[in-house]
């Protein structure tokens, strides 16, 4: 489960901390953008973890379906490309946000997803008992629910910050010209 630790040093701890959204109207526009970008990176990482979990859930479900006679005979490995492609081309679910960022902690998330089932090896789901498959599916499902909930919370943070930035542009307290000037000058030296 994705836990948020008050006062923690991880990005998710900062982004979901109660003070992260306090007094947004008092913060400089550059700080708002930094916070929005930090939240966007966290949302990208959570989305990546969620996709990893969905793939594993699809594999387990395909094996369960194969066993009950509703799936193709043969090994799941032979069907892996089809199983994963069906998920990729299926109807979109979720926020529908376009992500321009790459996951920053892909390896960490992959290890987290693998650790969820302990010593259960999904490379040979056919060797798992029905009870083991049920257990693995429950574990992955619970984790996916947790990741999705945190992702929605992070998206709420992004929406709140974006609303403040939008308000500043609408009211004239921020301007596109200032933004372009800042981008032309580049980062301020430390």
Neighbours of 169 (CB within 10 A): 13
- Looking at residue 120, what is its pLDDT? 56
The answer to whether residue 189 sits within a structural domain is no
1-5, 32-36, 97-101: the lowest-pLDDT one: 97-101
What percent helix, strand, coil does the chain show, rounded to 5?
A: 70, 0, 30
The answer to whether residue 2 sits within a structural domain is no
Q: Residue 41: which H helix or E strand, with range?
A: helix 29-67
CA distance 84 to 54: 9
Per-residue pLDDT tens digits for 54-95: 888 988 998 898 888 865 666 676 666 677 676 554 444 555
The answer to whether residue 80 sits within a structural domain is yes
Token representation of residue 155: 């998206």
Print the domain residue range for 36.
Answer: 28-88+106-180
The answer to whether residue 159 sits within a structural domain is yes
Output the furthest CA–CA distance in the chain (Å, rounded).
65
CA dist 56 → 33, 43, 164 (Å): 35, 20, 38
pLDDT band at 125, cuts 50/70/90?
A: confident
Whether residue 119 has pLDDT greater than 60: no
Give the chain's end-to-end CA distance (angstroms, integer). 38
| 145-152 average pLDDT score | 95
Token representation of residue 56: 């594993």
The answer to whether residue 95 sits within a structural domain is no
The answer to whether residue 68 sits within a structural domain is yes
Per-residue pLDDT tens digits for 9-55: 999 999 999 999 999 999 999 899 999 999 999 999 899 888 888 88
- Looking at residue 124, what is its pLDDT? 76
- Looking at residue 91, what is its pLDDT? 43
The answer to whether residue 120 sits within a structural domain is yes
pLDDT band at 183, cuts 50/70/90?
A: low
- Count structural domains, the chain: 1
For the chain, the average pLDDT equals: 80
What angle (nearest 5°) sits at the alpha carbon of residue 49, between those of residues 58 and 40?
Answer: 135
- Looking at residue 157, what is its pLDDT? 98
The answer to whether residue 149 sits within a structural domain is yes
- Residues comprising the chain, all counted: 190
CA distance 124 to 121: 6
Using alpha carbons, select from 42, 39, 44, 36 the residue that is nearest to residue 164. 36
- Looking at residue 35, what is its pLDDT? 96
- Looking at residue 185, what is its pLDDT? 66
pLDDT band at 188, cuts 50/70/90?
A: low
């Amino acid at each position: 489960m994705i836990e948020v630790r008050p006062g923690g040093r991880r990005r998710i701890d900062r982004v979901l901390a109660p003070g992260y959204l306090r007094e947004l109207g008092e913060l400089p526009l550059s700080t708002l953008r930094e916070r929005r970008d930090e939240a966007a990176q966290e949302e990208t990482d959570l989305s990546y973890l969620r996709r990893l979990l969905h793939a594993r859930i699809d594999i387990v479900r395909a094996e369960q379906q194969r066993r009950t006679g509703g799936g193709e005979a043969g090994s799941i490995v032979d069907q892996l490309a089809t199983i994963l492609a069906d998920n990729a081309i299926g109807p979109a679910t979720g926020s529908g946000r376009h992500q321009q960022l790459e996951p920053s902690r892909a390896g960490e998330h992959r290890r987290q997803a693998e650790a969820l089932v302990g010593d259960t090896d999904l490379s040979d789901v056919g060797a798992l008992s029905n009870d083991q498959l049920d257990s693995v599916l429950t574990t992955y499902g619970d984790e996916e629910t947790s990741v999705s909930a945190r992702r929605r919370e992070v998206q709420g943070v992004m929406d709140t910050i974006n609303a403040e930035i939008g308000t500043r542009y609408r009211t004239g307290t921020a301007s596109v010209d200032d933004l372009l000037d800042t981008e032309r000058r580049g980062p301020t030296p430390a």
